[in-house]
A and B are shown apart, each in its own frame.
Chain A
Amino acid sequence: MKAPTRWDAVCTVDDLVPESGIAVWTEDGPVAVFYLPHRLPALFAISHHDPISGANVLARGITGDLKGEPVVASPLYKQHFSLRTGRCLEDESVQVKRYPVLLDGGRVRLEVPCEQRQTSAA
Chain B
Amino acid sequence: MSKKTLIVIGNGMVGHHFLEQFVASPAAEDFRVVVFGEEKQLAYDRVHLSEYFSGSSHADLAMGTADWYTENRIELRLNEAVTRIDREGRKVTTDRGDYAYDELVLATGSYPFVPPIEGREHPHCFVYRTLEDLDAIRASARDGKSGVVIGGGLLGLEAANALKSLGLQAHVVEFAPRLMPVQLDAEGGSLLRHKIEELGVQVHTDKATTAIVEGQDARLRMNFSDDSHLDTDLIVFSAGIRPQDTLARACGLEIGERGGIVIDDHCTTSDRHIHAIGECALWDQRIFGLVAPGYTMARTLSSVLNNDEEAVFTGADMSTKLKLLGVDVGAIGDAHGQAPGARSIRFNDEQAGHYRRMVISEDGKRLLGAILVGDNSHYDTLLQYALNEITLPGNPETLILPESQGGAPALGPDALPETASICSCHNVTKGDICGAIDAGCSDLASVKVETKASTGCGGCSALLKNVVDSELEKRGVEVSKDICEHFPYSRQDLFHLVKVNGIRTFRTLISQYGKGHGCDICKPTVASILATCWNEHILTTDHVPLQDTNDTFMANMQKNGTYSIVPRVPGGEITPDKLIVLGEVAREYDLYTKITGGQRVDLFGATLSQLPEIWEKLIAAGFETGHAYGKSLRTVKSCVGNTWCRYGVQDSVGMAIFLENRYKGLRAPHKIKMAVSGCTRECAEAQSKDIGVIATENGWNLYVCGNGGMRPRHADLFATDLSDDGLIRTIDRVLMLYVRTADRLQRTSVWMENLEGGLDYLKEVVLEDSLGMGAELEAHMADIVSTYQCEWKTAVEDPEKRKRFREFVNEPEKKDPVQQWTVERDQRRPVLESA
Contacts and interface: CB of A to CB of B under 8 A. Distances in A.
Given A25-B814, A70-B517, A57 B557 contact: yes
B816 interface: yes
A62 interface: yes
Contacts of B807: 23
A25 B812 CA distance: 10
B557 A68 contact: no
A38 interface: yes
A40 interface: no
Given A51-B835, A55-B560, A56-B818, A24 B519 contact: no
A97 interface: no
Contacts of A78: 520
A53 B552 CA distance: 19
A24 B485 contact: no
Interface centre among B545, B547, B804, B832 (most CB of A within 10 A): B545
B193 interface: no
B545 A55 contact: no
B561 interface: yes
Given A64-B517, A65-B519, A75-B549, A17 B557 contact: no
A24 B517 contact: no
Contact of B810 (A11, A62, A63): A11
Of the four ranges (under 10, 10 to 19, 20 to 34, 35 or more), the interface on chain A belongs to 35 or more
Interface in A1-40: 10-11, 15, 17-20, 22-25, 30, 36, 38-39
A17 B542 CA distance: 10
Contact of B549 (A10, A19, A60, A67): A60
Given A19-B545, A22-B809, A24-B808, A76 B516 contact: no
Interface in B776-793: none
B103 to A, nearest CB: 53
Interface in B472-525: 485-486, 507, 516-520, 522-524
Interface in A77-101: 78, 80
B520 A61 contact: yes
A2 to B, nearest CB: 25
Nearest to A10: B810
A24 B810 contact: yes
Contacts, number: 106
A52 interface: yes
Given A10-B810, A17-B804, A56-B816, A66 B549 contact: no
B663 to A, nearest CB: 26
Contacts of B561: 53, 55-57, 76
B803 interface: yes
Contact of B832 (A39, A54, A66): A54
A51 B810 CA distance: 23
A71 interface: yes
A6 B833 CA distance: 29
A60 B811 CA distance: 17
Interface string B511-550: 0000011111011100000000000000001001111110
Contacts of B395: none
A70 B518 CA distance: 10
Contact of A24 (B560, B809, B834): B809
B744 to A, nearest CB: 14
A10 B486 CA distance: 33
Contacts of B808: 23-25, 30
Contacts of B818: 49, 54-56
B811 A25 contact: yes
Contacts of B517: 36, 38-39, 63-65, 70
B809 A62 contact: no
Given A36-B517, A75-B557, A17 B549 contact: no
A54 B834 contact: yes
Interface string B452-475: 000000000000000000000000
B553 interface: yes
Contacts of A80: 520
Nearest to B522: A64
B559 interface: yes
A9 to B, nearest CB: 9
A73 interface: yes
Contacts of B549: 60-62, 75-76
A67 B486 CA distance: 9
A23 B811 CA distance: 10
B544 A17 contact: yes
Contact of B557 (A23, A51, A63, A76): A76
A38 B507 CA distance: 10
Nearest to B516: A65
A64 B810 contact: no
A64 B515 CA distance: 11
Nearest to B816: A56
Contacts of B559: 53, 55, 76
A86 to B, nearest CB: 15
Given A15-B803, A24-B809, A73-B519, A54 B833 contact: yes
Contacts of B814: 25
A17 B519 contact: no
B549 to A, nearest CB: 4
A64 B809 contact: no
A96 to B, nearest CB: 11
Contact of A64 (B523, B557, B811): B523
Given A23-B808, A60-B557, 10 more contacts: A20-B545, A22-B806, A53-B835, A55-B559, A55-B561, A62-B548, A62-B552, A64-B519, A67-B485, A75-B552
10 contacts: A30-B808, A39-B517, A49-B818, A50-B835, A53-B561, A54-B833, A60-B549, A60-B552, A62-B545, A70-B517
